[in-house]
């Protein structure tokens, strides 16, 4: 019997009981669809995080107080008080540092902000005008903070678009109005353009104020939460970290780099950490979804065992007429593979549609990896062979006489 005849007969056999065939493939559909959707979710999340990090600035180095321990654990950013404005000025003016073109001292604190009856909890960042250059900030309307406002401790603020929506509602231009932060009224002078993002990297949910105002009038601090540096080019990032590191060690009167009371991170360091985290997240989700494939495979095996039992007399007749063991095995394996292959194709469609819906709901990029689709097809076919082998072997081992007597 040729393979085309075997495949045709297998399809005909499977379509005899459409409900049972559909239920058998359902587990594979759910498993494959879940794997593709969750891999897509992990990859889109990774892309979104990377684009958010890259949007924070080019050739960016960030200095934060506190050193990374031997196990890679550190306190929360801004907990230390050992970075000062003098450190930032020294980096900018030192002849020892030749690879840095812009320095942005920053003080950040999360607090409650009110205006009228509305309020929101958001990040307040005290900055200098250089922040706009280093962090690549664009304005939607109004003006950014200037040097004169920093020097005079002006009570002015530039709001991110999310803050505007939370405090004033959609479509409102609040420039000229005021917000209250820690009992101080600040005039709104500008609105930043939306960059998108969430969590720690969401510049849209931020209020920018002059650094002097944040330190002395709002929070009473004389230290910095971080210092952002823009290197002259990507090629000098490593040299920049070294030069700045040794300068700060000297300023903090430390001889041993392992005792540093600060940490310097590059964009690549942050990207690598984010990529590792999202990869682990994706693997975990995929592992959970793979359980559905196992359950689906067991369902296929159960259906095939039922099929062998129902067709015992047919198998006996075939063997009595000279059908070889290999032909019987091939017949049942092909039926099993067809079940899982069709389920895999439907599952791929289900996964793609689910991924598209999820990306729309979460406003994340729609990402479908071709490798995940190829893997899904391969896995579904492999499951058909793996879980169809035992029923096929059982059918081929039936004795013709006993099979023909089976009631």
pLDDT score of 65 more than 70: yes
Residue pair 305/388 in contact by the 8 Å Cβ criterion: no
Q: Round to whole Å and give the CA distance between 204 and 210.
A: 18
Q: Which pLDDT score, from 0 to 100, does residue 261 have?
A: 87
Taking the C-alpha atoms of residue 399 and residue 96, their distance in angstroms, rounded to an integer, is 89
Reading the block at residue 160, the tokens are 């991110």
pLDDT at 230 over 70: yes
Confidence of residue 74 (pLDDT cuts 50, 70, 90): very low
- pLDDT of the residue at 72: 44
Identify the bridge partners of residue 186 per DSSP, sorted by sequence position: 179
Task: For residue 341, report the phi and psi dihedrals to the nearest 5 degrees.
Answer: -70, -45
What is the model's pLDDT at position 75? Answer: 45
Interval 163-199: pLDDT, tens: 999 999 888 889 999 999 999 999 999 999 987 654 4
Crossing angle between the packed helical segments 325-362 and 267-310, to the nearest 10 degrees = 140
Residue of 98 and 333 predicted with greater confidence: 98
Which whole number is the average pLDDT over 82-100?
92
pLDDT at 73 over 70: no
Task: Please report where in the chains the tokens 């709104």 appear, as a residue.
Answer: 188
Query: Does pLDDT of 311 surpass 90?
Result: no
**Mind listing the pLDDT tens digit for each residue in 372-403?**
778 777 777 777 777 777 776 776 676 666 65
CA distances from 135 to 13, 48, 138, 230 (A): 65, 18, 9, 9
3-class SS at 45? Answer: helix
Question: What ranges do the domains of the chain cover?
Answer: 3-51+273-405, 67-260
- pLDDT band, very low/low/confident/very high, at 120 (cuts 50, 70, 90): very high
pLDDT at 402: 62
**Among 108, 93, 363, CA closest to 219:** 108
pLDDT tier at 247, thresholds 50, 70, 90: very high
More confident residue, 278 or 156: 156
The C-alpha atoms of residue 13 and residue 129 are separated, in whole angstroms, by: 75
Among 62-66, 141-145, 212-216, 321-325, the range scoring the smallest mean pLDDT is 321-325
Give the pLDDT score at 197: 58
d(CA 160, CA 123): 10
Distance of CA 258 to the CA centre of its chain: 32
pLDDT at residue 405, as a whole number: 56
Q: Average per-residue pLDDT in the chain? A: 80
Rounded average pLDDT over 56-71: 70
Confidence class for position 57, pLDDT limits 50, 70, 90: low
- Provide mean pLDDT across the span 41-48: 75
Torsion angle in degrees (nearest 10) through CA of 22, 24, 27, 30: -20
pLDDT at site 139 = 93
196 close to 29: Cβ distance less than 8 angstroms: no
Contacts of 183 (CB under 8 A, 6+ apart): none
Question: Tens digits of per-residue pLDDT, 259-296?
Answer: 888 888 877 666 666 667 777 777 777 777 677 667 77
pLDDT value at residue 98 = 92
Whole-number Cα distances in Å, 143 to 104, 150, 175, 217, 228? 18, 14, 10, 21, 21
Q: Are 365 and 44 in contact (CB under 8 A)?
A: yes
Averaged over 333-360, what is the pLDDT?
83
3-class secondary structure, 157: strand
List, in order, residues 6 or more apart from 87 with CB less than 8 Å away: 63, 224, 227, 248, 251
Alpha helices in 232-266 (DSSP H): 237-251
Tally Cβ neighbours within 10 Å of residue 112.
11
In DSSP notation, 281-324 reads HHHHHHHHHHHHHHHHHHHHHHHHHHHHHHTHHHHHHHHHTT--
Q: What is the pLDDT of residues 301-310, one digit of tens each?
A: 777 777 766 6
* Residue 3 confidence (pLDDT): 63
| Phi, psi (deg, nearest 5) at residue 61 | -120, 140
How many other CB atoms sit within 10 Å of the CB of residue 51?
A: 15
Other CB atoms within 10 A of residue 117 CB = 5
Q: What is the mean pLDDT of residues 229-251?
A: 89
Q: Tokens representing 145?
A: 């903070």
Q: Which pLDDT value is given to residue 260?
A: 86
Higher per-residue confidence, 295 vs 407: 295
Please report the pLDDT score of residue 199 as a whole number: 47
Percent of the chain with pLDDT over 90: 32
User: pLDDT band for position 58 (50/70/90)?
Assistant: low
Q: For residue 78, is pLDDT > 60?
A: no
User: What is the per-residue pLDDT for 76?
Assistant: 43
What's the rounded Cα separation, in Å, for the pair 192 and 209? Answer: 13
């Amino acid at each position: 019997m040729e393979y085309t005849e075997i495949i045709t007969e297998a399809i005909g056999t499977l379509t005899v009981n459409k409900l049972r065939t559909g239920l058998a493939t359902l587990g594979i559909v759910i498993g494959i669809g879940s794997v593709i959707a969750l891999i897509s979710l992990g990859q889109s999340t990774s892309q979104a995080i990377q684009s958010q990090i890259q949007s924070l600035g080019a050739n960016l180095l960030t200095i934060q107080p506190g050193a990374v321990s031997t196990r890679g654990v550190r306190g929360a950013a801004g907990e230390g008080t050992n970075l000062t404005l003098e450190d930032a000025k020294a980096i900018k003016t030192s002849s020892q540092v030749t690879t840095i073109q812009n320095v942005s001292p920053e003080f950040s604190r999360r607090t409650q902000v009110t205006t009228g009856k509305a309020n929101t909890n958001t990040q307040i960042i005290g900055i200098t005008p250089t922040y706009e250059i280093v962090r690549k900030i664009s304005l939607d309307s109004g003006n950014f903070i200037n040097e004169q406002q920093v020097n005079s401790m002006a009570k002015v603020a530039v709001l991110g678009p999310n803050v505007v929506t939370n405090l004033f509602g959609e479509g409102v231009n609040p420039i000229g109005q005021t917000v209250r932060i820690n009992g101080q009224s600040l005039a709104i002078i500008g609105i930043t353009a939306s960059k998108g993002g969430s969590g720690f990297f969401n510049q849209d949910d931020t209020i920018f104020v002059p650094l002097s105002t944040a330190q002395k009038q709002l929070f009473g601090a004389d230290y910095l939460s971080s210092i952002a540096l823009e290197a002259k080019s990507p090629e000098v990032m490593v040299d920049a970290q070294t030069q700045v590191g040794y300068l700060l060690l000297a300023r903090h009167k430390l001889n041993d780099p392992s005792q540093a009371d600060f940490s310097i991170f590059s964009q690549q360091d942050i990207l690598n950490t984010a990529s590792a985290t999202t990869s682990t997240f994706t693997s975990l989700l995929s592992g959970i979804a793979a359980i559905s494939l196992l359950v689906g495979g067991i369902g296929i095996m159960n259906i095939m065992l039922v099929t062998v039992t129902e067709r015992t007399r047919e198998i006996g007749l075939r063997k009595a007429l000279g059908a070889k063991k290999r032909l019987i095995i091939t017949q049942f394996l092909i039926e099993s593979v067809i079940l899982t292959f069709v389920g895999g194709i439907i599952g791929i469609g289900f996964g793609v549609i689910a991924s598209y819906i999820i990306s729309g709901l979460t406003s994340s990029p729609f990402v479908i990896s071709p490798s995940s689709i190829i893997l899904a097809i391969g896995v579904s076919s492999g499951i058909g062979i793996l879980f169809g082998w035992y029923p096929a072997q059982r059918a081929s081992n039936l004795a013709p006489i006993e099979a023909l007597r089976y009631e």
